[in-house]
A and B are shown apart, each in its own frame.
Chain A
Amino acid sequence: METRPKIVLFQCQWCLYSEPDQHWVDNELPASIHLLKLPCTGRINPLFILNAVQGGADGIMISGCLPEKCHYKEGNLSALRQNEEFQDFLDYIGYEKSRIRFVWLDLQDRGRIQRELSDFEDDINKLGKAKIMASRINLPLGGHDE
């Protein structure tokens, strides 16, 4: 049986206002999708993305609020420039840019996260497994290497 691509989902805790969506993300995500909830997309450090890439993620999805609807006014804008540039930089080194996707969810967009994830999974399936850069020795959860 074909295995599904490994996807890491970075989710801003405010971006899914509709209860059923958040419930689905919290409880019913497929096992191939690893969820990391953050207070804001502004919290994302390029190191998070790099760790996911090196840990063998086939795709990385970042979902956040629209810029003008950020819970912290402009938190996601502060991260936008860095993350965009980091995506281009990884592409320059050789990691496909299309494996990292940003989605900006509107509050009214019910069910959009499911659609986006399945679209993303289809696109990653076309690209195949990520072969390069997955060189990290897996650390136990929590990030300590003792």
Chain B
Amino acid sequence: MNELERKLKTEIERLFDEDIVDLVIAFKKADSPLRPQPAFYKNKAELDNLNYNSLCQNNLANYLTKYPHTTRIGVVVRGCESRSVNALVVEKQHPRENLYLIGIPCKGIVDIRKIINLTGEEVNDYTEIDDEISVRVNGNKVKLDRKDLLHDSCLRCVHPNPTNSDVTLGDLLPEGDPSIVRQAVESFEAMDRSERYAWFRHEAERCIRCYACREACPMCYCTECFVDHATPRWTESSVSPAGMQAWHIIRAFHQTGRCTSCGACERACPMDIKMTYLTDKLNENMITKYQFETGLDDKTQPPFASFNMDDKKRFIL
């Protein structure tokens, strides 16, 4: 256990001792060192396998909507997760007074695929000390640089520090430069219309309709998704070009003003389909049109949930 994990453990023990929470959502060690799993601690006796490092892929805000509103939940949140929690609180998915956010400033999530691309599949140990990451491959120790391994959406992260958290462990990090957010959108917009569609079609046609992106996303909490709806059937639910494109378009569009660009959808995708270039564009439009950025506080309604008569000035007459 490193220093941060010890601090985290002490904090969680305090929460249970003082009876502040019923449940803590954090990460635990799993069979593979590369894949820590989400853990749901109900008492402090189970805390021995607590884990926190840059390999924690899931967005833990995802699990808030699975519990009744009366459950007092403590959640370990990084920058993007804290914004997802705020967005869920705005949408009344869990009352803020029944949440305890343990914030951790995040240096970025390491993409397992990038490690495997560099070293091959036989990775069986992982240690990280500051920016130096070392893995053991076939008995040999391999040193890697964190910068080469960060997930694409973490490279574009602007708010690494948790917002609105009850306690923050570790030192705050500097905010990112807002111009880097556009990278994915810029490279997509640089293409002309037919190339853009061809790129989109190429990404969408690899989809196997497993809906892992939906399950990983904290904002996709509908009990019945539009693709599962049978009467009327909104989109083809088979692996057909129209169905796959409709899924990617509408999934992204339902995130308008709600997505926090955590990239959990891309990390969950077994086919390595790029999706953040769609949601990033929508987020950017929400900032330029309505000056709204998701999750910066837990009061402001997203643009699609609020409207006013000033909108009519933009009517096309």
Partner-B contacts on A (CB < 8 A): 46-47, 50-51, 54, 66-68, 74, 77-78, 80-82, 84-86, 88-90, 92-96, 101-104, 132-133, 135-137, 139, 142-145
Interface of B is mostly: helix
Distance of A86 Cα from B188 Cα, bound (Å) = 18
| Contact in complex: A81, B303 (CB < 8 Å) | yes
Partner-A contacts on B (CB < 8 A): 188-189, 193-194, 196-197, 200, 226, 231-236, 240-242, 245-246, 249-250, 252-253, 256, 278, 281-282, 285, 289, 303-304, 307-309, 311-312, 314-317
CB-nearest residue of chain B to A142? B232
Count of A-B contacts with CB under 8 A? Answer: 109
| Contact in complex: A132, B194 (CB < 8 Å) | yes
> What is the minimal beta-carbon distance from A116 to any residue of chain B, in angstroms?
11
26 contacts between A and B (CB under 8 A): A50-B235, A50-B249, A54-B242, A54-B246, A67-B309, A67-B315, A77-B307, A77-B308, A77-B311, A80-B311, A81-B304, A82-B304, A86-B253, A88-B285, A89-B252, A89-B278, A92-B188, A92-B281, A93-B197, A102-B315, A104-B316, A133-B245, A135-B242, A137-B242, A143-B231, A145-B233
Q: Which residues of the partner chain A approach B303 to less than 8 Å between Cβ atoms?
A: 81
Distance of A50 Cα from B242 Cα, bound (Å) = 10
Return the contact of B316 from the options A96, A102, A137 (Cβ within 8 A): A102
CB-nearest residue of chain A to B194? A94
Distance of A95 Cα from B188 Cα, bound (Å) = 14
Closest 4 CB pairs of A and B: A94-B197, A143-B232, A67-B312, A136-B242
Distance of A139 Cα from B188 Cα, bound (Å) = 33
Q: Which residues of the partner chain B approach A101 to less than 8 Å between Cβ atoms?
A: 316
CB-nearest residue of chain B to A105? B317
Given contacts A77-B312, A85-B285, A132-B197, A47 and B234 within 8 Å (CB-CB): yes
Return the contact of A47 from the options B226, B242, B309, B311 (Cβ within 8 A): B226
